[in-house]
Amino acid sequence: MSFYLPESVDCNGELFKVFITKEQIDARIELLGKKLDKDFEDKHPIFIGILNGAFIFLADLMRSVTIPCEVDFMKLSSYGDEKVSSGQVTELKEIDAKVKGRHVILVEDIVDTGLSMKYMVEKMKKHNPASVSVITLLHKKEATKHDVQVDYVGFEIPTKFVLGYGLDYAQEGRNLAQIYALHEEE
């Protein structure tokens, strides 16, 4: 399969430049898969992807693990069509899987303020799973103000608005195969 890998893109009238390449993403996911294989061996985990943003990361991550596992999805919204979080989490789709007694791995595209992940972890714990782990492709560590658990991170990034590989700006740009950052004039 070949991918469209431009150096820069225009999304909703704003310029974004390549920030994390497809090669870097692939290499990191391979390592994360190996780590999960080891940590969850014989645990038959259930991956819960947080829609919409995590769908591409989850698809690649799941194919990088070799242990038996399951998948389900939940849908949250906290950004609307803006570049900053609305500060409120809206639940748009509940999980279908029964997680009681199961090892749950919550999969996010990005942890920014930490609000969504804090909400998800607390919600999941109410279902009495055997364990809850969190994996995110990107972590804006300096922007995280909520006390949130993050067990596995693809890349720690500065507080920049990013796009691509599942992440959107006003719903566009999710189909880009690598990650782009908003270009800010010096």
Residues that bind ligand IMP (CB under 6 A): 53, 78-79, 85, 108-117, 161-163, 167-168
Q: Respond yes or no: is residue 112 known to be catalytic.
A: yes
Q: Are 170 and 152 in contact (CB under 8 A)?
A: no
Q: Which is nearer to ligand IMP, 64 or 78 (CB)?
A: 78
In the bound complex, what is the minimum distance in angstroms from residue 22's beta carbon to ligand IMP?
18
Query: What minimum distance in Å lies between the beta carbon of 124 and ligand IMP?
Result: 15
Spatial CA neighbour of 128 closest among 149, 105, 89, 98: 98
> Are 79 and 138 in contact, with CB atoms under 8 Å apart?
no
Cβ of 184: how many Cβ atoms within 10 Å?
Answer: 9
State in angstroms the smallest separation of the CB of 97 from ligand IMP. 20
Task: State how far the alpha carbon of 1 is from the alpha carbons of 4, 37, 177, in Å.
Answer: 10, 26, 12
Q: Is the Cβ of residue 46 or residue 179 nearer to ligand IMP in the bound state?
A: 179
Reference 62, options 72, 51, 47; nearest CA is: 47
Q: Give 84 or 130: the residue with its C-beta nearer to ligand IMP.
A: 84
Q: Which of 112, 147, 151, 168 is catalytic?
A: 112
Which residues have a catalytic role annotated? Answer: 112
